[in-house]
């Protein structure tokens, strides 16, 4: 029928195109990895990449169509691309004006455990010395409500937070009362080792809608080795506690977090099985913390990151196979990265944000009123380094604290779009700035990429996730679900 | 298939230009109301003074007391209480609204700025503004409790401000009715036009806008119009920036099935905020018949692609429906999104469907599909 034009009639008549900003890196022997500021990516062979940047790619090629659909190039037929890029970029940064949502209250430094990886707990009977007072709590609550965020989550931490349950009750009730005027979406979480949980505490939690977060490092022997307490029964107590929490509060009202130690590295599958056995819908495979003995000994060397990556890949691959066999189980670290890769939103995970999440996403009010921009920086302070200390609620105003150089300088220095090697890295959209880590390792906020364990670890995760989903349609579908919290 | 137009036989004057009128089957209708109605008689004599009296085809008009103006053709004997029709001096009767149907679709124009390869209603470049005039009358005769009505074309927005005025009328007369408008969305790339539309403020008014490919060349080719992709996407962005409900409609055929999953990823990444995505089987009517070889692909052959497309969209939390499809031609994972969508007045089943136990849940076919081509892989569900 001649009244219909052929497809060639609708091709770009000018035969020219513009490139939009993108970054690339060599992914493997055949492919280059290209990404743009909104996190969209594709893999391209070197020859095509060369022709792309030389404006010699032809619109009869499949790669041209894919690059155009993902707005890596603009011609007359997709001039709308700039609008779409702008909307997606804006969506990715839409958390920034919200500012701090997570407010951590360290209600006591005292603890019944003496975990090797913890730098902050104190074995002390002296309540007055290491517990948060009402006066400090009042000031900290005022700070929390000064945050512009519509969502305010107050998390109680320790030490063992339940050793100072009265101040938790005080803070919950006072902030609820104040919220009648402030009208935020107010949530509470108690981080606890569950050793002293009981029905009365949980009844209180149910009444006030408080979520429980606990620590579970893996199978009994590993957990008890990592988390010693008098009686050597940490595992038994946490298992009983989880069960009681579910009974009183509901299945999803208690979550668990693991800490990875050297002893964990060979036992990924067992750790995953432990979480699966307990009926958790997933696990967060956390990286080794450098804030323990490793910092002092400087033994947090690259080989450990290598070992951790092996642990991560093995455990993740095991989880993927669980899903393939019909068991729904997620890995949350991957899920966070995947949502940065596959969606236009940013999940706002503190360690993978740029500008860095410190202060902006999370703030820590220590028992003594000192304010720190993250849990890790509080640990540094407890080890005697106050570099990140932003001030004290007793002596400083909210404005003074949040405009302190202890926060602003690391934020500015570590912004990935200006850090050498980060700004040109094609994985930058998925990564983030962790100035506290870099400082702990190198005494500056940036560090040097080739030597950075953070960089090595992040690159390793990104590459593995992309390799897995590009090679296997089942994994692509699974990852798409994870990226969307399904 | 329920016929929606036909020629009436004039019994008195040669051709009455009656215009838009409501049907009544109630011979004793209150005289105040009867004066504006057409009475369709199945043999009963009108007790009130009706504006028009029409006899069914199976009734001898002489057996009816009083003046009978017109006689129906047999295919229009289905006319029921509350239906609205248009009767013109050429004796053409068109059913504009069927009260019993939940799928009333009102044609606003046959003019269009697209010329889609698979258009079911091939555009005509004629002055058919009488359709607009009739619709304005019709709106006032549609019951307030009507659940849903659709507006279609052609391209309704070609009326420009008159389209806006019509929708304002719809809002004023039918504030509680769900309104669905089929448009290619390009007019809304003009933010001022989009603002006027949004200002109508109907609480349940959705635009169904087609997007056929993430490849602009292919989209423009399918709709046979340059720059269509840019303007349609811009239109969607403008409408959503004004919080207007938008549905993306994708007709599935040989020209776009190859990039369907990429289109779904494009929608999920770029247009996540649209309210609904409809993936629709091809209707073998209109231009589709002319372009059959370029368009036809057996739905059996794209089963898995359709499953993947549905998975992508639902994974991103989007509302998805699969329309104009047959139950035996979709995988089980599509069933939660499968809709029995083919309008009651045009759905039929194939000879292969005899004995199928799921007939009542299946959308079946457009009558045109049965006539001109359907899958070779139909398989009745047998008990």
Chain B contact for A344 (CB, 8 A cutoff): yes
- Within 8 A of A79 by CB-CB distance, chain B residues are 230
Burial bucket for residue B32 (CB in 10 Å: 0-12, 13-18, 19+): exposed
Question: Tens digits of per-residue pLDDT, A349-376?
Answer: 988 999 999 999 999 999 999 999 999 8
Token digits for A4? 């219909």
How many Cα atoms are found within 13 Å in the side-chain-facing hemisphere of B182?
A: 23
> Helix axis angle, A453-471 relative to A473-483, nearest 10°?
120
Question: Cα(A117)–Cα(A300) distance, rounded to whole angstroms?
Answer: 13
Asked whether A304 and A297 are in contact (CB, 8 A), the reply is: no
> Which has the closest alpha carbon to B234: B199, B193, B203?
B193
The SS3 of residue A155 is: strand
- Within 8 A of A5 by CB-CB distance, chain B residues are 221, 224
For chain A positions 116-175, those within 8 Å of chain B (CB to CB) are none
In our burial notation (b when 16+ CB lie closer than 10 A, e otherwise), range A305-321 reads: beebbebbbbbbebbbe
Question: Mean pLDDT for chain A?
Answer: 93
State phi, psi for A429 to the nearest 5 degrees.
Answer: -60, -20
- Tell whether the model's pLDDT for residue A272 goes beyond 80: yes
Residue A16 makes CB contacts below 8 A (sequence gap 6+) with: A55, A75
Question: Cα(A277)–Cα(A283) distance, rounded to whole angstroms?
Answer: 12
Map tokens 């995760």 to a residue.
A461
Question: Cα(B356)–Cα(A438) distance, rounded to whole angstroms?
Answer: 68
User: Cβ separation of A78 and B312 shorter than 8 Å?
Assistant: no
Asked whether A49 and A24 are in contact (CB, 8 A), the reply is: yes
Which DSSP string do the residues of A225-245 spell out, in sequence order? HHS--TTS-HHHHHHHHHHHH
Give the one of B218, B233, B237 whose C-beta lies nearest to A7's C-beta: B218
Q: How far away is chain B from the Cα of A368, in angstroms, using its nearest Cα? A: 44
Q: Which residues pair with A24 in a beta bridge?
A: A34
Map tokens 């001030």 to a residue.
A391
Rg of chain A over all Cα atoms, to the nearest angstrom: 25
Asked whether B209 and B246 are in contact (CB, 8 A), the reply is: yes
Map tokens 């169904």 to a residue.
B208
Cis peptide before A141 (omega within 30 of 0): no
Question: Cα(A82)–Cα(B237) distance, rounded to whole angstroms?
Answer: 12
Residue B345's pLDDT is what?
61
Q: How far away is chain B from the Cα of A328, in angstroms, using its nearest Cα? A: 14
User: Cβ separation of A1 and B291 shorter than 8 Å?
Assistant: yes
Which DSSP string do the residues of A75-132 spell out, in sequence order? -GGGTTHHHHHHHHHHHHTTTGGG---EEEEE-B-B-S---TT-SS-B--S-HHHHB-
Residue A126's pLDDT is what?
73
Cα dihedral A142, A143, A146, A150 sign:
negative
Question: Tens digits of per-residue pLDDT, A31-84?
Answer: 999 999 999 999 999 999 999 999 999 999 999 999 999 999 999 999 999 999
Cis peptide before A355 (omega within 30 of 0): yes
Q: Which residues pair with A155 in a beta bridge?
A: A104, A189
> Which has the closest alpha carbon to B229: B210, B253, B247, B243?
B210
For chain B positions 215-274, those within 8 Å of chain A (CB to CB) are 215-218, 220-221, 224, 226-227, 229-230, 233-234, 237, 259, 262, 266, 268-270, 272
- Tell whether the model's pLDDT for residue A296 goes beyond 70: no
- Within 8 A of A83 by CB-CB distance, chain B residues are 233-234, 237
Question: Cα(B346)–Cα(B108) distance, rounded to whole angstroms?
Answer: 20
CB atoms within 10 A of CB A453: 22
A434: which DSSP letter?
A: -
Chain B contact for A87 (CB, 8 A cutoff): yes
Residues in chain A: 486
Token digits for B131? 């359709």
Question: Cα(B174)–Cα(A315) distance, rounded to whole angstroms?
Answer: 59
Token digits for A193? 């080792």
State phi, psi for B244 to the nearest 5 degrees.
Answer: -90, 135
CB atoms within 10 A of CB B251: 24
Asked whether B277 and B320 are in contact (CB, 8 A), the reply is: yes
Give the one of B216, B311, B316 whose C-beta lies nearest to A78's C-beta: B216
Question: Cα(A161)–Cα(A190) distance, rounded to whole angstroms?
Answer: 7
Residue A385's pLDDT is what?
92
Q: How far away is chain A from the Cα of B5, in angstroms, using its nearest Cα? A: 29
Ranges of H-type helices in B274-366: 287-290, 292-295, 303-315
User: Cβ separation of A477 and B311 shorter than 8 Å?
Assistant: yes
Question: Tens digits of per-residue pLDDT, A132-144?
Answer: 999 999 999 999 9
Give the CA distances from residue A214 to residues A115, A164, A254, in Å, rounded to whole numbers and listed in that order.
Answer: 14, 16, 7
The SS3 of residue A444 is: coil
The SS3 of residue B4 is: coil
For chain B positions 306-335, those within 8 Å of chain A (CB to CB) are 308, 311-312, 315-317
- Tell whether the model's pLDDT for residue A3 goes beyond 60: yes
Residue A420's pLDDT is what?
92
Give the CA distances from residue B326 to residues A306, A376, B329, B335, B361, in Å, rounded to whole numbers and listed in that order.
Answer: 53, 58, 5, 10, 9
Residue A300's pLDDT is what?
55
For chain B positions 88-117, those within 8 Å of chain A (CB to CB) are 115, 117
Question: Cα(A318)–Cα(A322) distance, rounded to whole angstroms?
Answer: 6
Cis peptide before A418 (omega within 30 of 0): no
Cα dihedral A14, A16, A19, A24 sign:
positive
What residues of chain B score a pLDDT lower than 70? 343-346
**ipTM surpasses 0.90:** yes
Map tokens 């999920």 to a residue.
B268
Mutation target to probe the A interface, by most A beta carbons within 10 A, among B188, B213, B217 is: B217
- Within 8 A of A9 by CB-CB distance, chain B residues are 221
Tell me the pLDDT band of A293, cut-offs 50, 70 and 90: very low
User: Cβ separation of A69 and B290 shorter than 8 Å?
Assistant: no
> Which has the closest alpha carbon to B362: B374, B372, B373?
B374
Mutation target to probe the B interface, by most B beta carbons within 10 A, among A77, A82, A86, A343 is: A77
Token digits for A79? 């001039």
Rg of chain B over all Cα atoms, to the nearest angstrom: 22
The SS3 of residue B5 is: strand
Map tokens 């991957």 to a residue.
A334
- Within 8 A of B270 by CB-CB distance, chain A residues are 84, 87-88, 344
Residue A1's pLDDT is what?
44
Q: How far away is chain A from the Cα of B273, in angstroms, using its nearest Cα? A: 11
Which DSSP string do the residues of B165-229 spell out, in sequence order? HHHHHHHHH-TTSEEEEE--SGGGGSHHHHHHHHHH--TTEEEEEE---SSHHHHHHHHT-TTHH
> Which has the closest alpha carbon to A357: A107, A102, A87?
A102
- Scanning every residue of chain B, which has its alpha carbon at the shortest distance from the alpha carbon of A9? B221
pLDDT average, residue stretch A96-111? 94
Residue B66's pLDDT is what?
87
- Within 8 A of A40 by CB-CB distance, chain B residues are 269
Chain B contact for A307 (CB, 8 A cutoff): no
CB atoms within 10 A of CB B12: 9
Q: Which residues pair with A428 in a beta bridge?
A: none
> Which has the closest alpha carbon to B102: B370, B340, B351?
B340
């Amino acid at each position: 029928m001649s009244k219909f034009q052929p497809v060639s009639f609708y091709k770009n008549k000018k035969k020219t195109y513009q490139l939009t900003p993108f970054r690339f890196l060599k992914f493997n022997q055949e492919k280059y990895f290209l990404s743009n500021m909104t996190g969209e990516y594709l893999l391209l062979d070197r020859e095509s990449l060369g022709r792309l940047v030389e404006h010699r790619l032809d619109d009869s090629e499949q790669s041209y169509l894919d690059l155009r659909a993902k707005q890596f190039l603009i011609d007359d037929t997709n001039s709308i691309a700039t609008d779409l890029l702008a909307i997606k970029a804006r969506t990715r940064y839409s958390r920034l004006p919200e500012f701090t949502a997570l407010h951590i209250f360290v209600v006591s430094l005292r603890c019944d455990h003496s975990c090797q990886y913890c730098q902050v707990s104190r074995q002390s009977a002296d309540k007055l010395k290491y517990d948060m007072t009402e006066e400090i709590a009042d000031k900290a609550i005022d700070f929390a409500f000064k945050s512009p965020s519509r969502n305010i989550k107050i998390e109680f931490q320790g030490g063992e937070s339940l050793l100072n349950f009265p101040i938790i009750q005080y803070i919950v009730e006072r902030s609820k009362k104040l919220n009648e005027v402030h009208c935020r979406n107010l949530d509470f979480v108690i981080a606890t080792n569950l050793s002293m949980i009981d029905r009365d505490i949980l009844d209180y939690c149910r009444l006030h809608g408080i979520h429980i977060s606990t620590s579970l490092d893996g199978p009994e022997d590993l957990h008890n080795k990592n988390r010693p307490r008098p009686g050597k029964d940490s595992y038994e107590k946490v298992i009983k506690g989880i069960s009681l929490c579910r009974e009183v509060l509901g299945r999803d009202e208690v979550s668990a977090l693991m800490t990875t130690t050297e002893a964990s590295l060979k036992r990924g599958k067992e750790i995953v099985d432990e979480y699966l056995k307990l009926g958790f819908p997933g696990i967060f495979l956390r990286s080794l913390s450098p804030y323990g003995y490793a910092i002092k000994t400087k033994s947090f060397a690259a080989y450990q990151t290598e070992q951790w990556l092996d642990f991560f890949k093995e455990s993740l691959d095991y989880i993927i196979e669980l899903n393939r066999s019909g068991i729904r189980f997620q890995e949350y670290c991957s899920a966070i990265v995947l949502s940065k890769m596959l969606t236009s939103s940013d999940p706002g995970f503190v360690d993978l944000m740029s500008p860095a999440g410190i202060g902006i996403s999370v703030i820590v009010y220590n028992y003594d009123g000192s304010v720190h921009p993250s849990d890790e920086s509080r640990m540094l302070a407890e080890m005697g380094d106050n570099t990140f200390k932003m001030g004290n609620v007793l002596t400083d105003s909210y404005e003074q604290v949040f405009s302190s150089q202890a926060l602003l300088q690391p934020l500015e220095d570590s912004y990935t779009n200006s850090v050498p090697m980060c700004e040109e890295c094609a994985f930058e959209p998925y990564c983030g700035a962790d100035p506290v880590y870099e400082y702990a390792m190198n005494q500056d906020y940036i560090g040097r990429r080739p030597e950075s364990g953070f960089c090595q670890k992040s690159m390793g995760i990104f590459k593995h996730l992309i390799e897995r989903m590009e090679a296997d349609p089942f994994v692509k579908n699974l990852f798409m679900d994870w990226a969307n919290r399904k | 298939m329920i016929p929606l137009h036909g020629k009436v036989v004039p019994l008195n004057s040669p051709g009455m230009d009656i215009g838009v009128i409501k049907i009544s089957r109630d011979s004793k209708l209150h005289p105040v109301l009867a004066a504006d109605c057409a009475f369709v008689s199945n043999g009963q004599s009108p007790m009130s003074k009706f504006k028009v009296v029409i006899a069914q085809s199976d009734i001898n008009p002489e057996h009816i007391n009083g003046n009978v103006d017109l006689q129906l053709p047999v295919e229009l004997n289905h006319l029921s209480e509350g239906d609205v029709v248009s009767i013109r001096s050429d004796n053409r009767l068109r059913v504009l609204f069927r009260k019993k149907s939940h799928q009333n679709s009102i044609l606003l124009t046959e003019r269009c700025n697209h010329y889609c390869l698979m258009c079911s209603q091939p555009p005509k470049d004629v002055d058919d503004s009488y359709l607009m005039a009739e619709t304005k009358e019709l709106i006032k005769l549609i019951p307030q409790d009507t659940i849903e009505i659709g507006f279609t074309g052609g391209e309704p927005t070609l009326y420009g401000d008159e389209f806006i005025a019509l929708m304002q009328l719809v809002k004023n007369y039918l504030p509680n009715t769900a309104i669905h408008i089929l448009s290619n969305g390009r007019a809304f790339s003009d933010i001022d036009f989009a603002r006027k539309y949004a200002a109508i403020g109907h609480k349940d008014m959705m635009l169904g806008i087609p997007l056929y490919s993430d490849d602009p060349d292919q989209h423009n080719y399918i709709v046979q119009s340059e720059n269509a992709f840019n303007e349609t996407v811009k239109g969607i962005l403008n409408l959503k920036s004004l919080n207007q409900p938008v549905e993306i409609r994708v007709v599935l055929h040989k020209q776009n099935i190859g990039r369907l999953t990429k289109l779904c990823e494009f929608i999920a990444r770029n247009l996540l905020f649209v309210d609904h995505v409809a993936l629709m089987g091809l209707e073998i009517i209109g231009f589709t018949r002319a372009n059959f070889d370029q368009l036809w692909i057996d739905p059996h052959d794209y089963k898995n692609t359709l499953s993947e497309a549905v998975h992508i969209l639902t994974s991103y939390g989007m509302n998805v429906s699969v329309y104009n499809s047959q139950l035996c031609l979709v995988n089980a994972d599509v069933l939660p999104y499968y809709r029995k969508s083919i309008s009651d007045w045009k759905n039929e089943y194939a000879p292969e469907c005899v004995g199928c136990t799921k007939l009542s849940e299946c959308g079946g076919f457009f009558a045109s599909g049965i006539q001109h081509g359907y899958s070779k892989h139909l398989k009745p569900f047998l008990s």
